[in-house]
Amino acid sequence: MYMNAIIVNLNDMKKFTCKEMGGPCEEVHEGATAMEIAKQNFAHVMATTDKAHKQMREQMTKPGKGPSKEEWWAWFNREWDKKKDEA
């Protein structure tokens, strides 16, 4: 029996702050993939209740309040590619 496995090289880890992803704070998200970091940032922003994160929460949940998901992903993937590994 063969099992599919994802092997993560710890040297491929990257870090982004909430601010680097368009938010207002310095909360750090770390992961091996852009999706992993995006999910962490989404959870972080949705868990906040402060005014500083309100605009970002609205952009994530209300159509027309910011870039489309496709536009944001295109931007973030470019940022991901530019970012050096930080492990």
Number of H helices, E strands in the chain: 3, 2
Q: Is residue 71 part of a domain?
A: yes
- Spell 42-52 as b/e; 16+ CB within 10 A means b: bebbeebeeee
Q: Are 36 and 15 in contact (CB under 8 A)?
A: no
Q: Is residue 86 part of a domain?
A: no
Q: Is residue 24 part of a domain?
A: no
Q: Which domain holds residue 51?
A: 33-79
pLDDT the model gives residue 85: 67
Q: Is residue 85 part of a domain?
A: no
Q: Is residue 43 part of a domain?
A: yes
The fraction of the chain above a pLDDT of 70, given in percent, is 84
The fraction of the chain above a pLDDT of 90, given in percent, is 66
- Please give the tally of structural domains in the chain: 1
* pLDDT digits 0-9 by tens, 14-55: 999 999 999 999 999 999 999 999 999 999 999 999 999 999
pLDDT the model gives residue 33: 96
Q: Is residue 37 part of a domain?
A: yes
**pLDDT band at residue 62 under the 50/70/90 scheme:** confident
Q: Is residue 19 part of a domain?
A: no
Q: Is residue 64 part of a domain?
A: yes
